[in-house]
């Protein structure tokens, strides 16, 4: 029913009253609180988390293939990424405190 009402709107046909009631019964998202600060990650946080994720994948690939050298390289890359993300977190905390 709801799909038909959406399809009707797209084709220029008005939806039926039943479809409008069904759409009105759907939960609405609450308005965003504008007083809350949005959290934006800095470059070090992003790069660190991406590097950590890549390391985790590399570690899993090493385990899957039985290649110990790839597994260890993945563990090291994951730890480097975690360290860089932690550095970015500290930078963000310092910036927030200013």
Asked, for residue 65, whether it belongs to a domain, the answer is yes
Asked, for residue 83, whether it belongs to a domain, the answer is yes
Q: How many domains does the chain have?
A: 1
**Is the pTM value of this prediction over 0.75?**
no
pLDDT for the residue 1: 47
Asked, for residue 36, whether it belongs to a domain, the answer is no
10-residue block means of pLDDT along the chain (98 residues)?
50 57 56 60 94 97 97 97 96 90
Q: DSSP characters for 40-84?
A: ---HHHHHHHHHHHHHHHHHHHHHHHT-HHHHHHHHHHHHHHHHH
Residue range(s) defining the domain that contains residue 18: 2-27+41-97
86, 48 contact by CB (below 8 A): yes
Asked, for residue 32, whether it belongs to a domain, the answer is no
Q: How many residues does the chain have?
A: 98
Asked, for residue 33, whether it belongs to a domain, the answer is no
């Amino acid at each position: 029913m709801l799909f038909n009402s959406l399809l009707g709107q797209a084709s220029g046909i008005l939806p039926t009253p039943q479809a409008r009631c069904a759409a009105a019964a759907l939960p609405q998202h609450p308005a965003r609180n504008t007083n809350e600060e949005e959290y934006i990650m800095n470059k070090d946080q992003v790069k660190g988390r991406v590097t950590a994720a890549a390391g985790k994948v590399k570690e899993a690939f090493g385990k899957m293939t039985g290649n110990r050298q790839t597994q260890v390289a993945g563990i090291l890359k994951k730890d480097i990424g975690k360290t860089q993300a932690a550095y970015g977190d500290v930078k963000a905390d310092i910036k927030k405190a200013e």
